[in-house]
């Protein structure tokens, strides 16, 4: 079928209907199983329809970018791929949408109807494949049924905030389009949107207000589900004298310069957050699925309130007294008039004071000497220079620790932690082509899903009004975070076989692609490297050679953590010397003598959690 032929197929209909649902980007990868649909995408572009097709380097990246696009824009997002194996590649990105509650629809090709069940080439039972990840999965089998399938997929994706999958067999893709007729067994479905701004009933809101009124030391844990509700969260905190903690993915919900925002909790969190959890008498979770229950208050210590749009997430991590099923913003708006202004802000002022002291500790940790560069210093210097409206992505790895510890996102900035910092960063450029984007990523993660994405940037950067994209690779030749997890969780020494990352010249790689590459091996040159990157309207790769032996220590350091680290060292960790040196430096900063002892001597038998 030529690109110039009329837009009269099922595929053309699907595209028109997706546009009606507000879809403006499709992240896709071709293959003959989706070939006729791709032909229709070409006709849509030719016809000037408001739908941009982006083709990155791999189907996994398509699905991750669609999820990221939904996160950045709040809109329904779409990815598309051919039948197996392309379809299988999308699973990771769709699970990302499932776990992080994002409205994503995947359009998946399938072999022709006649082949199904015959073990034909690249034919698989895709409904079965996607049935776990998708809230709705359906094959379009006739033109008249296409409408209801698309409408249900889009509505369920939006209202359930989950991925949905539409499978279109190759021959169906090019059948003649047909509006659903008025007929006994045909649904004539609607594309009118549904609001999810739901609020809980008044009696439950009043119960929550009573708990807040009685509280003297109130702590909020704010997650990504509260995005858009910043003003309401802050108003409630000011009314009740609460201190605020944000989950890692809620980091950009509360500006980093709010004095009683104590940032994250746990391994990558702050000491004031840790203290707040020990001391609070009221604990309110807002749009968060913070998983590490060990850091939450003791049972019976705090009265609990939770707000969540996904009812299955209510009351999961802590025995809450009130579980409010609703949208964070709408629920807070309904709750605020029921809550009076307190005249006791002493708890809030106390945590603000502790946070100020903690920033000093972080500063000192960032300037501890390391070989060759302390990774904390890299993030410390980035934080000082974050441009207005910056979007910062961060990958799994020690980067997540340093991002949590040292990055303070101001109003108007965005940030996200994912297992796909590069696809997320590139998706951010498509979502906000006028904003500077910074991707912070370890060398291991960069080799997994980052290097090929520089190719996608090369292909599409001409579309972005602001081409600034800074990719900072923490070059430590190690899967450091896991090396530490193996030491501290399982008491194993670092094993080169699984942990070594092949060193390559990342800056040179960027330059091969026509980008700016800067190699940094001297801590005194970090600041200038960031300045050069922020002066460049294009992609800059900062290849920063950092020390893998700077430990990602939790702010309070548990005895078990130290004991296992010590045991690993005694078993002959190859990096023993550096680890001990750096651990001790960091621990001295923390002033925790018991743990110092444990690291030196491997004592197992005394003490509880070192605090």
Ligand X SMILES: Cc1ncc(C[n+]2csc(CCOP(=O)(O)OP(=O)(O)O)c2C)c(N)n1
Query: Of Mg ion, ligand X, none, which one sits near residue 234, judging by CB under 5 to 8 A according to partner kind?
Result: none
Task: Please tell me whether residue 443 binds Mg ion under the rule CB under 5 A.
Answer: yes
Q: Which residues pair with 110 in a beta bridge?
A: 169
Query: Of 93, 250, 287, 442, which lies in the binding site for Mg ion, with binding defined by CB under 5 A?
Result: 442
SS3 for 325-339 is: ECCHHHHHHHHHHHC
Give the shortest CB-80-to-ligand X separation in angstroms. Answer: 22
- Nearer to ligand X by C-beta: 325 or 446? 446
Is 419 among the residues that bind ligand X (CB under 6 A)?
yes
Segment near Mg ion (CB under 5 A); pick from 115-123, 375-383, 468-476, 551-559: 468-476
Burial class (CB in 10 A: 0-12, 13-18, 19+), 112: middle
Nearer to Mg ion, 59 or 478 (CB): 478
Q: Toward ligand X, which CB reaches closer, 165 or 421?
A: 421
Who contacts 199 (Cβ-Cβ below 8 Å, separation ≥6)?
205, 326, 327, 330, 331, 333, 334
Give the DSSP letter string of 246-308.
E-GGGTTTS-TT-TTB----STTS-HHHHHHHHH-SEEEEES-----GGGSPPTTTSEEEEEE
Cis amide leading into 85 (omega within 30): yes
Q: Which stretch binds Mg ion (CB under 5 A): 58-66, 456-464, 472-480, 582-590?
A: 472-480
- Count of alpha carbons within 13 angstroms of residue 183, beta-carbon side: 7
By CB under 6 A, is residue 580 in contact with ligand X?
A: no
Q: Tell which one of 103, 375, 444, 555 touches Mg ion (CB under 5 A).
A: 444
Question: Is residue 488 close enough to count as binding ligand X by CB under 6 A?
Answer: no
Q: Which stretch binds ligand X (CB under 6 A): 431-439, 441-449, 454-462, 488-496?
A: 441-449
Q: Which of residues 453-482 bind ligand X (CB under 6 A)?
A: 474, 476, 478-482
- Contact call for residues 370 and 550 (beta carbons, < 8 A): yes
User: Which of ligand X, Mg ion, none lies near 218, with the C-beta cut-off 5 to 8 A by kind?
Assistant: none
How far is the C-alpha of 217 from the C-alpha of 345, rounded, in Å? 9
96 vs 443, beta carbon nearer Mg ion: 443
> 113 vs 153, 173, 178, CA distance in Å?
21, 11, 18
CB-based closest residue to ligand X: 442
In the complex, least distance from residue 132 CB atom to ligand X, rounded to whole angstroms: 18
Which of 476, 499, 564, 583 touches Mg ion (CB under 5 A)?
476
Give the ranges where 161-269 is alpha helix by DSSP (H).
170-173, 202-214, 230-240
Angle between helix 59-73 and 451-460 (nearest 10): 70
Residue closer to ligand X, measured from CB, 215 or 450 = 450
Q: Which is nearer to Mg ion, 308 or 443 (CB)?
A: 443
| Neighbour count for residue 197 (Cβ, 10 Å) | 12
Q: Which residues make up the interface to Mg ion (CB under 5 A)?
A: 442-444, 476, 478, 480
Q: Which residues make up the interface to ligand X (CB under 6 A)?
A: 395-399, 419, 442-445, 474, 476, 478-482, 501
């Amino acid at each position: 079928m030529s690109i110039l032929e009329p837009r009269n197929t099922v595929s053309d209909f699907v595209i028109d209907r997706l546009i009606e649902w507000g879809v403006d980007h499709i992240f896709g990868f071709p293959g003959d199983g989706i070939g006729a649909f791709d032909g229709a995408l070409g006709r849509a572009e030719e016809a000037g329809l408001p739908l941009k097709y982006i083709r990155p380097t791999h189907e996994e990246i398509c699905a991750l970018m669609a999820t990221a696009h939904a996160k950045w824009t709040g809109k329904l997002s779409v990815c598309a791929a051919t039948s197996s194996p392309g379809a299988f590649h999308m699973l990771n990105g769709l699970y990302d949408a499932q776990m992080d509650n994002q409205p994503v629809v995947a359009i998946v090709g399938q072999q022709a109807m006649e082949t199904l069940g015959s073990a034909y080439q690249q034919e698989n039972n895709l409904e079965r494949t996607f049935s776990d990840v998708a809230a709705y999965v359906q094959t379009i089998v006739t033109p008249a049924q296409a409408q209801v399938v698309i409408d249900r997929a889009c509505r369920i994706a939006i209202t359930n905030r989950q991925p949905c999958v539409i499978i279109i067999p190759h021959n169906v893709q090019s059948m003649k389009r047909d509006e659903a007729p008025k007929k006994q067994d045909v649904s004539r479905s609607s594309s009118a949107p549904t609001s999810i701004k739901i609020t809980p009933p008044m009696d439950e809101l009043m119960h929550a207000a009573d708990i807040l009124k009685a509280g003297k030391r109130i702590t909020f844990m704010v997650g990504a589900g509260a995005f858009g509700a910043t003003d309401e969260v802050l108003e409630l905190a000011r009314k009740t004298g609460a201190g605020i903690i944000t989950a890692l993915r809620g980091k950009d919900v509360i500006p980093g310069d709010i004095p009683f925002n104590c940032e994250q909790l746990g391994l990558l969190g702050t000491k004031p957050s840790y203290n707040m959890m020990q001391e609070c008498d009221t604990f309110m979770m807002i749009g968060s699925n913070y998983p590490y229950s060990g850091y939450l208050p003791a049972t019976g210590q705090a009265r609990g309130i939770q707000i969540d749009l996904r009812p299955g997430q209510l009351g999961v991590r802590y025995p809450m007294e009130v579980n409010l099923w609703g949208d964070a913003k709408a629920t807070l708006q309904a709750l605020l008039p029921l809550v009076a202004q307190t005249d006791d802000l002493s708890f809030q002022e106390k945590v603000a004071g502790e946070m100020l002291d903690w920033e000093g500790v972080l500063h000192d940790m960032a300037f501890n000497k390391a070989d060759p560069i302390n990774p904390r210093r890299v993030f410390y210097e980035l934080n000082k220079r974050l441009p207005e409206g910056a979007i910062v992505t961060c990958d799994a790895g020690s980067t997540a620790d340093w991002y949590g510890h040292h990055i303070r996102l101001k109003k108007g900035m965005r940030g996200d932690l994912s297992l796909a910092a590069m696809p997320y960063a590139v998706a951010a450029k498509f979502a906000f082509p006028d904003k500077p984007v910074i991707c912070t990523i370890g060398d291991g993660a960069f080799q997994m899903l980052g290097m090929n994405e520089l190719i996608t940037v090369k292909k599409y950067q001409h579309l972005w009004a602001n081409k600034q994209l800074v990719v900072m690779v923490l070059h430590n030749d190690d899967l450091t975070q896991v090396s530490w997890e193996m030491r501290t969780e399982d008491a194993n020494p670092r094993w080169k076989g699984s942990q070594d990352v092949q060193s390559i010249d990342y800056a040179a790689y960027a330059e091969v692609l026509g980008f700016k590459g800067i190699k940094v091996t001297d801590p005194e040159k970090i600041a200038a490297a960031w300045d050069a990157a922020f002066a460049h309207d294009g992609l800059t790769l900062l290849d920063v050679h950092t020390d893998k032996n700077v430990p990602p220590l939790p702010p309070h350091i548990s005895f078990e953590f130290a004991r296992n680290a010590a045991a690993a060292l005694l078993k002959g960790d190859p990096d023993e010397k550096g680890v001990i040196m750096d651990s001790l430096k960091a621990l001295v900063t923390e002033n925790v003598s018991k743990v110092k002892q444990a690291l030196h001597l491997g004592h197992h038998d005394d003490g509880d959690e070192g605090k």
